Amino acid sequence: MIKTGGEWISSLALEDLISRHPAVSEAAVIGVPDPKWGERPMALVVLKPGAEKETSPEDLKAFFVKFAEAGVIPKYGVPDRVNIIGTIAKTSVGKINKKQLRIDYK
């Protein structure tokens, strides 16, 4: 869970939504420090091979905005930043290592 401006937003719900984008192979959403809101969600996305040329962080953010406009998530749940990365850190058992991601993207 990410607490932004006193409100909670589920990182798992955001990951589920961005994973529906046809160009997304894998995604993680973490909370990053924000001076105004305490924390803000940030999406880290690995694209499918060949999708790098046709998909930008702005495209992925617009994908989140569509869900906010439809009332699926609150507007404050739309990540401020969407980073396209090569790999997502995993634990020794293959789960997403959110602790390490928070350190890496602080």
Domains and CATH numbers, the chain: 2-104 (3.30.300.30)
Q: Name the helix (H) or strand (E) containing 99.
A: helix 98-104
pTM: 0.90
pLDDT in tens, 50-99: 888 899 999 999 999 999 999 999 999 999 999 999 999 999 999 999 99
Full strand arrangement of the beta sheet holding 24-34: 24-34, 38-47, 81-84
Q: What is the pLDDT of residue 106?
A: 82
CA atoms of 6 and 73, how far apart (whole Å): 16
Please give the torsion angle defined by the CA atoms of residues 11, 13, 56 and 33, in that order, rounded to the nearest 10 degrees. Answer: -20
Q: Name the helix (H) or strand (E) containing 102.
A: helix 98-104
Q: What is the pLDDT of residue 47?
A: 96
